[in-house]
């Protein structure tokens, strides 16, 4: 299994821990719920990266084919799951700002905003690839997916 599968499982556990220990967990407040749903949509898409990594590294041909087939099946939804992630994260941000207001001194909010901008560019380059499927755009899209992984990790631990 690719190291990315373990990294993704770790991030998922971290998010679940943060949500379950949040003071609003008993009522599951809308801002936290939208943050969780948006995150899950992103993770679903980012897991494709772990799959490609496994396809590249596994010597087992049968496993390569199996993973490639799974990846092909989810491809038609990839842009839509990414767009859903963006919509839920925008809702998360709107509810958070309505609740607490916005302050540059709250690092969690600043990192959240950078992550949201990153997600916007990630989804944008994803749609752009439909019209301009260049290698350069593929690399940028992948790089944005990777930077978002670290930004979300930071957003959660702050």
Which residues of the chain form contacts with ligand HEM (CB under 6 A)?
A: 15, 18-19, 22, 32, 35-36, 38-39, 89, 92-93, 96-97, 108-109, 112-113, 115-116, 119, 152, 155-156
Least gap, CB of 88 to ligand HEM (angstroms)? 9
- Output the smallest distance, CB 47 to ligand HEM, in A: 15
- The least CB distance from residue 56 to ligand HEM, in Å, is 27
97 CA to centre of own chain: 21
The residue (of 18 and 53) whose beta carbon lies closer to ligand HEM is 18
Cα distance between residue 10 and residue 46, in whole Å: 13
Distance set, CA 154 to CA 103, 110, 122, 125, 150 (Å)? 18, 11, 18, 23, 6
CB of 15 or CB of 67, closer to ligand HEM: 15
Q: Nearer to ligand HEM by C-beta: 54 or 84?
A: 84
Minimum CB distance to ligand HEM smaller for 67 or for 156: 156
User: What are the angstrom distances between the C-alpha of 99 and each of 31, 88, 93, 146?
Assistant: 9, 16, 10, 30
> Are residues 83 and 123 in contact, defined by beta-carbon separation less than 8 angstroms?
yes
Residue listed under structure tokens 């939804």: 77
């Amino acid at each position: 299994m690719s190291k990315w599968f373990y990294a993704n499982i770790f991030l998922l556990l971290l998010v679940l821990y943060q949500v379950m220990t949040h003071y609003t967990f008993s009522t599951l407040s809308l801002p936290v719920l939208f943050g969780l749903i948006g995150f899950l949509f992103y993770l679903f898409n980012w897991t494709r990266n772990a799959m490609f990594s496994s396809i590249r590294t596994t010597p087992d041909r049968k496993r390569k084919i199996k993973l490639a087939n799974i990846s092909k099946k989810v491809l038609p939804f990839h842009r839509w799951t990414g767009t859903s992630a963006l919509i839920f994260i925008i809702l998360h941000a709107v509810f958070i700002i309505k609740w607490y207001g916005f302050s540059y001194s709250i690092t969690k909010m600043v990192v959240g905003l950078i992550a949201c901008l990153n997600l916007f560019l990630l989804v944008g380059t994803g749609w752009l690839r439909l019209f301009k499927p260049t290698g350069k755009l593929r690399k940028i899209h992948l790089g944005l997916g990777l930077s978002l992984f670290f930004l979300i990790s930071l957003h959660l631990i702050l």
